[in-house]
Amino acid sequence: MTCVLDPGIRVSEIFGPTIQGEGMLIGLPTVFVRTGGCDYRCSWCDSLHAVDNRFRHEWKTMSTDAIWQEVNLLSGGRPVMVSLSGGNPAIQPLGALIERGHREGYRFALETQGSVARDWFAELDVLVLSPKPPSSEMTTDWTAFEACVEAARDKPQIVLKLVVFDETDYGYAKDAAARYPQLPVYLQPGNHTPPRPYGEEVDMDGIMKRMEWLIETVTCDRWFDARVLPQLHVLLWGNKRGV
């Protein structure tokens, strides 16, 4: 008998069901598995508790089985969309979890910045690629990004999600969309507020002004393929964790 060791998955939090607050699946009831650790450090990251080593003591290394049991418990055993987020979930071994869930009728969406490609991207139902614009102070490696698109092998639905704070980010979003004209584009006004418990109150005024500016910019620009959406969960609950 061959034993395959479960390498363990680093998890920051598992919660839900709640609605997906952004992008293509906005409004859809979802259970979230947020992994711990990220190869990026965006200046405005709103998930620092899943990125920063200060929070490492909160992360747990869990087996696929243990994660699955928790997801199943939260969903009451009824198949639901599972969102794999982070941090960067692509740096965790999630293939077996996706396979396990699919056997029971669950669906999986994963969001990543597109810096690490995995074979198991092809097993996803939805792959959200969210390259980070200049305001993040990160630099996109488009070769690595292309490897992510190729790894998906046209199996899951792939979408682009871009955060926009200003004109420079907007130009970056247009460039990213031009590189991948076949992919639907979701634009989202940036949110500067770090997550609680270290964040302040959400700058709702700033978010709404950026949203209005973004809608105006997209429409004046006649960019009619782009969809502009706010982060619904931030409008409802600020940057509170676990909702």
If binding is defined by CB under 6 A, does position 23 make contact with ligand SF4?
A: no
If binding is defined by CB under 6 A, does position 193 make contact with ligand SF4?
A: no
Cβ proximity to ligand SF4, 47 vs 92, nearer residue: 47
> Cβ neighbours of residue 147 under 8 Å, at least 6 residues apart?
117
| C-alpha distances out from residue 207 to 26, 171, 232, Å | 18, 19, 11
DSSP symbol at 170: H
Q: Which of 9, 42, 128, 159 binds ligand SF4 (CB under 6 A)?
A: 42
CB of 86 to ligand SF4, least distance (A): 5
How far is 112 from 229, CA to CA, in rounded Å? 18
CB of 140 to ligand SF4, least distance (A): 11
Window of 36-44, 121-129, 143-151, 183-191 that interacts with ligand SF4 by CB under 6 A: 36-44
Among 194, 174, 171, which Cα is nearest to 185's? 174
CB of 37 to ligand SF4, least distance (A): 9
Number of residues binding to ligand SF4, judged by CB under 6 A: 12
How far is 123 from 159, CA to CA, in rounded Å? 15
Cβ proximity to ligand SF4, 72 vs 162, nearer residue: 162
How far is 120 from 128, CA to CA, in rounded Å? 14
Q: Which of 9, 24, 45, 126 binds ligand SF4 (CB under 6 A)?
A: 45
Q: Contact at 8 Å (CB) between 16 and 31?
A: yes
If binding is defined by CB under 6 A, does position 113 make contact with ligand SF4?
A: yes
How far is 204 from 199, CA to CA, in rounded Å? 13
> Cβ neighbours of residue 71 under 8 Å, at least 6 residues apart?
14, 31, 33, 82, 101, 106
CB of 231 to ligand SF4, least distance (A): 12
CB of 222 to ligand SF4, least distance (A): 29
If binding is defined by CB under 6 A, does position 89 make contact with ligand SF4?
A: no
Cβ proximity to ligand SF4, 107 vs 132, nearer residue: 132
The site for ligand SF4 (CB under 6 A) is made up of 38, 40-42, 45, 47, 51, 86-88, 113, 132
